[in-house]
C-alpha cells in the first residue's frame, strides 16, 4: 500500500496515527512478555558445541537453542504466517462476496469465490499440520539439547556439588522442569508471531472499514496489556514454587525407594507414607495457588474479550442508525473482531506456557551457571608416563570454612611402594585419598605426582592414572560385563575375562544364569556384597593404573575370599604406588609404611613391626582387634 494513501486526507491521517499507536502497543507487549524477565546473575558458562553464554538474559539464552534448528524453525514460522494470512483473507473475501457478488447477481463468481475459500482452508489445514507436527518436533529437539547440556555439565561438577544437592532435586531439574520447555519452545514464538500478524492485520483492515471501531479496540487494548503483564509476574512466582515442591517430592520418593528395605526392616512403612503425604500436601497447595492465579487471569481476560464484542456491536449499531455504516460492514467488522480476539486468546495461552516453561528454564539456567570449582588451569599438562612418586607437602583441607579436616599433613610415598592409612573413623583417611585425584581441592600446601603439582596437570590425565576401589561399591544397573568394562570402555572380551579371574569373581560369574551378561539390578542388588566388591576390583584390574587407592577394598569379603583377593591385590600392587585405607590391620602387615591418623593428625608412621614396638596408638588398635578374635 503506497505511503501517500495514509496522508492524503485528514481521515487517513487519523488512520495512520492510530496504526502507529497500535504498532507501539503491540511491540511493547512482545518486549515485556519476552524480555521482561531477566536474571542479572554474573556467572558465565559455555557448554556444548554452540558455546552458549549463560551470563545473558534468560530469553537470549533460550533463543540460542534455536540456532541448530533454524531452518526447520523458519519453515514453521512461514507456515504460521500463511495460516494467519488465510484467517485475515476470509473476512475480506466475505465482505467482497456480500458487497459485490451477491447484490450484482454474479452467482458464477460467487461459487468461484466459495471454491477459492475452500481451497484456502485446505491449504491452511496443511500449514496447520506442519506447524503442529514439526513445531512440536523443534520443541522436542531443543528440550533434548538442553537436557544433554545439563547432563554434560553435571558430569563436570565436583564432589562438593553432590555433597550439597539431593539426587531427587537434580533429577527434577533434568526431567520435569524441562518437559514444559517443549511446549514453550514450540508455541511461544509461534503464538507471538501469529498474534502480532493477526492483531496488526485485523486492526489495519478494521481501520479502513470504520475508524471508530478501530479506535474503540485501541482504547480497550491497553487494559488487556496491563492485565496480561500484571498476571504474568504472579503466575511466574507461583509456577516456580510448584516446581520446587515437585523437586521435594522427587527427593522424598528417591529416598524412600532407595531405602525401602531399611523401612521394612524397621517396620516404618507408615512413617515413610506419612512423610511422603506431607510433601504431597505441599505440592497440592502450591498447585491450587497456581490454578487460582491462572483462573483469575483467564476469567478477567475472557470478560474483557466479551466486552469487546459488546462494544463493537453497540458502536456498529449506533453507526448504522446514523447511516454511517452498512450491515455488511458491521458483519465484516465483527468477523475481523473475532480474528482480532483469536490472537488475544493465543497470547493468554502463551502467558500460561511462558510462566511454566520459563520457571523450569530458569531453574535449568541456575544449574548451568554453577561454576565447577575444580577445573584445568590454562596450559594444564598431560602426563603420558607416570612413575607414581607422591608427596603431600604441608596440606590443609576443610569442607567448609568452620571445621578443618586436615592440618599440615606431610607424607612421602615413593614410586612402587604401599602406604597404609589406619586409625579411628573421622580422622581424614578417606579425605587424604580423595585429594590425590582432585575430587576436592586443598586449601593450603601442595600435592605432587612425579614432582608435578597435581593442580598443574589436566584432570583427565591425572585421574586416568589412578585406580580406586571404594568401600561403598556402586554398580550400574546393567550386566556384569558392562560393569567390569567400565574400567576401560574399549576393553576386549578376553581382557574382561582376565580381569575377572584376577579379582577372583570369574568362577562365580560362570555359575550365574546368563554368565557375564547377567543383569546385576539396581546398584547391584542381585549380587552378594562380596561379589559386588570383587566386580569393582575387577574394574581396577582392567584399568591397570600406576597408582592405586584401596578404600576398605576387602571389607565385604569372607575370610576365604579375602585371602584370595589379598594375593591378587599384592600382585597388582607390585611396581605400583598404592594407598590402602584399612580397619582390618591384618591386611596391611606387608605395607612398606603405615600411617596412623586420628583427629589430631598423623600420630605415628613406620612399618608394622616398628609401630608394634613403639606401643602407641597402632599397638593399641592391633591388640584390641586380635584380643576380640
Distance CA 499, CA 538 (A): 5
Residue 43 has pLDDT above 50, yes or no: no
Does residue 610 or residue 315 have the better pLDDT? Answer: 610
Higher pLDDT, 77 or 256: 77
Mean pLDDT of 505-510: 86
Q: How far apart are CA 527 and CA 27, in angstroms?
A: 63
Distance CA 516, CA 481 (A): 5
User: Do residues 455 and 440 make contact, with C-beta atoms less than 8 angstroms apart?
Assistant: no
pLDDT in tens, 236-288: 666 667 766 766 666 666 666 666 655 666 666 777 777 777 777 777 777 77
Per-residue confidence band for 228, with pLDDT thresholds at 50, 70 and 90? low
Element at 87 (helix H, strand E): helix 70-96
User: Domains in the chain, start-ordered, CATH in brackets?
Assistant: 10-368 (1.20.1560.10), 390-627 (3.40.50.300)
CB atoms within 10 A of CB 487: 21
Strand partners, 479: 519
pLDDT tens digit sequence for 590-623: 888 888 888 778 888 888 888 888 877 888 887 8
pLDDT at 263: 65
Q: Averaging pLDDT over each range in 52-56, 235-239, 493-497, 534-538, which range is the top one?
A: 493-497
Could you give the 3-state DSSP secondary structure of residue 104?
coil
How far apart are alpha carbons 144 and 151 in whole angstroms? 10
User: d(Cα 178, Cα 147) in Å, to the nearest integer?
Assistant: 7
How confident is the model over 363-390, as a mean pLDDT?
Answer: 85
From the CB of residue 440, how many other CB atoms can be counted at a distance below 10 Å? Answer: 19
- Mean pLDDT of all residues belonging to the chain: 76
Cα separation, 451 vs 388, in Å, equals 10
Contact between residue 408 and residue 602 where contact means Cβ atoms under 8 Å apart? no
Angle between helices 10-35 and 327-368 (to 10 degrees): 30
In this structure, the chain runs to a length of 629
* 530 secondary structure, DSSP code: H
For residue 9, is pLDDT > 50? no
Residue 516: per-residue pLDDT: 86
Would you call 170 helix, strand, or coil by DSSP? helix
For the four alpha carbons of 599, 601, 605 and 611, in that order, the dihedral sign comes to negative
Q: Are 143 and 178 contacting, i.e. CB atoms less than 8 angstroms apart?
A: yes
Instruction: Tell me the three state secondary structure of residue 545.
Output: coil
Residue 45: predicted pLDDT? 47
Mean pLDDT, to the nearest integer, of 314-328?
A: 74
Q: How many CB atoms lie within 10 A of CB 263?
A: 17
Query: What confidence tens digit (pLDDT) does each residue in 454-496 have?
Result: 999 998 889 889 888 877 777 877 788 888 888 888 888 888 8
**C-alpha distances out from residue 542 to 243, 388, 597, Å:** 43, 18, 31
Q: What is the mean pLDDT of residues 133-160?
A: 82
Q: What is the pLDDT of residue 559?
A: 67
Phi, psi of 579 (to 5 degrees): -110, 125
Largest CA distance in the chain: 122
Q: Is 226 exposed, middle or buried (0-12, 13-18, 19+ CB in 10 A)?
A: exposed
Name the nearest CA neighbour of 570 among 587, 557, 586: 587
Give the pLDDT of residue 392.
93
Under 8 Å CB-to-CB from 617, ≥6 apart: which residues?
423, 596, 598, 603, 604
Q: What is the pLDDT of residue 540?
A: 86
In 210-258, alpha helices (H): 211-258
Can you tell me the distance from the alpha carbon of 65 to that of 150, in angstroms, rounded to the nearest whole number?
Answer: 13
| H or E, element range at 419 | strand 418-422
pLDDT value of residue 391: 92
pLDDT digit string, tens, across residues 410-428: 999 999 888 989 888 777 8
pTM: predicted TM-score of the whole model, two decimal places: 0.67
Residue 537 has a pLDDT of 85
pLDDT level of residue 29 (50, 70, 90 thresholds): very low
Residues above pLDDT 90, as percent of the chain: 4
Residues 6+ apart with CB under 8 A from 567: none
**CA–CA distances in Å: residue 526 to residues 315, 522, 565:** 77, 8, 21
- What is each CA distance from 575 to 418, 446, 449, 459, in whole angstroms? 10, 25, 16, 23
Contact (Cβ atoms closer than 8 angstroms) between residue 150 and residue 157: no
d(CA 466, CA 591): 19
Could you tell me which of 510, 563, 568 has the C-alpha nearest to residue 537? 568
Q: Are 84 and 114 in contact (CB under 8 A)?
A: no
pLDDT at 564 over 90: no
Instruction: Output the pLDDT for position 268.
Output: 67
Give percent helix, percent strand, percent coil of the chain, each to the nearest 5. 65, 10, 25
Range with the lowest mean pLDDT among 11-25, 499-513, 564-578? 11-25
With a cut of 50, say whether residue 101 has pLDDT above it: yes
Amino acid at each position: 500500500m503506497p505511503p501517500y494513501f495514509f496522508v492524503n486526507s485528514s481521515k487517513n491521517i487519523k488512520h495512520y496515527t492510530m496504526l502507529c499507536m497500535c504498532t507501539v502497543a503491540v511491540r511493547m507487549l512482545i518486549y515485556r512478555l519476552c524480555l521482561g524477565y531477566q536474571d542479572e546473575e554474573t556467572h558465565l558458562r559455555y557448554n556444548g558445541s554452540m558455546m552458549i553464554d549463560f551470563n545473558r538474559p534468560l530469553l537470549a539464552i533460550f533463543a540460542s537453542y534455536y540456532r541448530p534448528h533454524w531452518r526447520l524453525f523458519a519453515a514453521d514460522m512461514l507456515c504460521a504466517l500463511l495460516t494467519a494470512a488465510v484467517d485475515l483473507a476470509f473476512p475480506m473475501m466475505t465482505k467482497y462476496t456480500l458487497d459485490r457478488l451477491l447484490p450484482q447477481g454474479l452467482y458464477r463468481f460467487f461459487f468461484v469465490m466459495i471454491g477459492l475459500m475452500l481451497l484456502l482452508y485446505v491449504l491452511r489445514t496443511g500449514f496447520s499440520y506442519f506447524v503442529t507436527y514439526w513445531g512440536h518436533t523443534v520443541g522436542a529437539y531443543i528440550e533434548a539439547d538442553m537436557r544433554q547440556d545439563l547432563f554434560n555439565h553435571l558430569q563436570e561438577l565436583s564432589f562438593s556439588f553432590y555433597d550439597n544437592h539431593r539426587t531427587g532435586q537434580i533429577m527434577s531439574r533434568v526431567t520435569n522442569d524441562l518437559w514444559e520447555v517443549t511446549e514453550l519452545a514450540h508455541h511461544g514464538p509461534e503464538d507471538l508471531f501469529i498474534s502480532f500478524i493477526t492483531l496488526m492485520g485485523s486492526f489495519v483492515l478494521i481501520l479502513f472499514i470504520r475508524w471508530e471501531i478501530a479506535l474503540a479496540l485501541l482504547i480497550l487494548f491497553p487494559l488487556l496489556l496491563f492485565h496480561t503483564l500484571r498476571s504474568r509476574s504472579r503466575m511466574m512466582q507461583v509456577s516456580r514454587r510448584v516446581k520446587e515442591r515437585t523437586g521435594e517430592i522427587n527427593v522424598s520418593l528417591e529416598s524412600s525407594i532407595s531405602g525401602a528395605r531399611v523401612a521394612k526392616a524397621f517396620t516404618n512403612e507408615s512413617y515413610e507414607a506419612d512423610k511422603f503425604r506431607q510433601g504431597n500436601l505441599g505440592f497440592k497447595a502450591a498447585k491450587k495457588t497456581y490454578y487460582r492465579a491462572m483462573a483469575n487471569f483467564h476469567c478477567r481476560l475472557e470478560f474483557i474479550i466479551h466486552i469487546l464484542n459488546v462494544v463493537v456491536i453497540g458502536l456498529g449499531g449506533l453507526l448504522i442508525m446514523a447511516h454511517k455504516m452498512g450491515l455488511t460492514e458491521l458483519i465484516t467488522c465483527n468477523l475481523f473482531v473475532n480474528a482480532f480476539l483469536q490472537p488475544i486468546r493465543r497470547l493468554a495461552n502463551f502467558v500460561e506456557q511462558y510462566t511454566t516453561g520459563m520457571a523450569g528454564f530458569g531453574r535449568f539456567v541456575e544449574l548451568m551457571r554453577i561454576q565447577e570449582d575444580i577445573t584445568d588451569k590454562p596450559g594444564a599438562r598431560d602426563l603420558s608416563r607416570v612413575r607414581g612418586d607422591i608427596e603431600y607437602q604441608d596440606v590443609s583441607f576443610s569442607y567448609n570454612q568452620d571445621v578443618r579436616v586436615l592440618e599440615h599433613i606431610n607424607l612421602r610415598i615413593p614410586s612402587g611402594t604401599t602406604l597404609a592409612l589406619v586409625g579411628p573413623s573421622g580422622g581424614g583417611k578417606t579425605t587424604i585419598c580423595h585429594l590425590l585425584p582432585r575430587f576436592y581441592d586443598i586449601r593450603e600446601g601442595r600435592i605432587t605426582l612425579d614432582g608435578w603439582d597435581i593442580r598443574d596437570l589436566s584432570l583427565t590425565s591425572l585421574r586416568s592414572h589412578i585406580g580406586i576401589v571404594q568401600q561403598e561399591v556402586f554398580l550400574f544397573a546393567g550386566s556384569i560385563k558392562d560393569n567390569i568394562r567400565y574400567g576401560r570402555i574399549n576393553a576386549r572380551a578376553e581382557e574382561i575375562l582376565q580381569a575377572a579371574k584376577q579379582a577372583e569373581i570369574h568362577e562365580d560369574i560362570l555359575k550365574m544364569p546368563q554368565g557375564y551378561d547377567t543383569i546385576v539390578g539396581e546398584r547391584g542388588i542381585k549380587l552378594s556384597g562380596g561379589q559386588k566388591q570383587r566386580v569393582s576390583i575387577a574394574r581396577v584390574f582392567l584399568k591397570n593404573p600406576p597408582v592405586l587407592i584401596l578404600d576398605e577394598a576387602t571389607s565385604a569379603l569372607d575370610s576365604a575370599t579375602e585371602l584370595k583377593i589379598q594375593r591378587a591385590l599384592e600382585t597388582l600392587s607390585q611396581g605400583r604406588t598404592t594407598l590402602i585405607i584399612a580397619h582390618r590391620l591384618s591386611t596391611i602387615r606387608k605395607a612398606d609404611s603405615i600411617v596412623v591418623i586420628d583427629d589430631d593428625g598423623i600420630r605415628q608412621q613406620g612399618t608394622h613391626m616398628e609401630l608394634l614396638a613403639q606401643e602407641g596408638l597402632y599397638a593399641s588398635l592391633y591388640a584390641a582387634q586380635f584380643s576380640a578374635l
